[in-house]
């Protein structure tokens, strides 16, 4: 970076959101089925409405996933209209795994919907799975 460029101040990506049908069901799925940590589960007041803020994360990583419903009472109609199409879709998020096939079998044993069986590419092995709301995620094992 040249001496004339200014730092923006972004330090990293911290929270991403997944739109779910039921926060309690999603919380159980992410913590009990996937083994994520519950990071936060708090209620709050906003615009005279009570809301709930729930986040989970992979143990040892800072990134958190916020679990939210389209019909949170503090959302206006415009926000609900923006969120609705995001529920139950492919997220394009990728979770790393050291053994894609083994992880898929473990998820399958736990009742997780596998939406794409492991496929081998020159750069690694990828599979896809869905949460109870239909949000799809990639599992990826880097090529050795």
The pLDDT tens digits of the residues spanning 43-52 come to 998 888 889 9
Segment 18-26 shows an average pLDDT of 97
Please list, in sequence order, all residues whose beta carbon lies within 8 angstroms of the beta carbon of residue 129, skipping any fewer than 6 positions away. Answer: 104, 107, 112, 113, 114, 115, 136, 137, 139
Predicted local confidence at residue 121, as pLDDT = 96
Rounded Cα distance between 52 and 17, Å, is 13
Contact assessment for residue 14 and residue 62, using Cβ atoms and an 8 Å cutoff = yes
Q: Higher pLDDT residue, 48 or 41?
A: 41
Q: Higher pLDDT residue, 99 or 75?
A: 99
Rounded Cα distance between 79 and 115, Å, is 29
Q: Higher pLDDT residue, 34 or 10?
A: 34
Q: What is the pTM of this model?
A: 0.88
The pLDDT tens digits of the residues spanning 88-110 come to 998 989 999 999 999 999 999 99
Question: Is the model's pLDDT at 116 over the cut of 90?
Answer: yes
The pLDDT tens digits of the residues spanning 124-139 come to 999 999 999 999 999 9
Segment 19-25 shows an average pLDDT of 97
Could you say which of 3.40.50.620, 1.10.287.370, 1.10.260.40, 3.10.180.10 is the CATH number of the domain covering 12-72? 3.10.180.10
CA Rg value for the chain: 18
Please list, in sequence order, all residues whose beta carbon lies within 8 angstroms of the beta carbon of residue 102, skipping any fewer than 6 positions away. Answer: none
Fold of the domain spanning 88-144:
2,3-Dihydroxybiphenyl 1,2-Dioxygenase; domain 1 (3.10.180)
In the chain, CATH 3.10.180.10 sits at 12-72, 88-144
Mean pLDDT of the chain, nearest integer: 93
């Amino acid at each position: 970076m040249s001496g004339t460029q200014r730092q923006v101040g972004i330090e990293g990506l911290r929270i991403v959101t997944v739109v779910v049908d039921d926060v309690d069901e999603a919380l159980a799925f992410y913590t009990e089925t996937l083994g994520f940590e519950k990071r936060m589960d708090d209620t709050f007041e906003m615009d005279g409405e009570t809301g709930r803020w729930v986040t989970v994360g992979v143990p040892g990583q800072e990134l958190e996933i916020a679990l939210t419903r389209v019909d949170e009472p503090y959302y206006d109609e415009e926000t609900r209209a923006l969120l609705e199409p995001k529920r139950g879709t492919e997220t394009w998020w990728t979770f790393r795994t050291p053994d894609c096939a083994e992880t898929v079998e473990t998820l399958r044993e736990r009742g997780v919907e596998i939406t794409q069986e492991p496929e081998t590419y020159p750069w690694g092995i990828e599979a896809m799975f869905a949460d109870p709301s239909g949000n799809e995620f990639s599992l990826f094992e880097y090529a050795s």
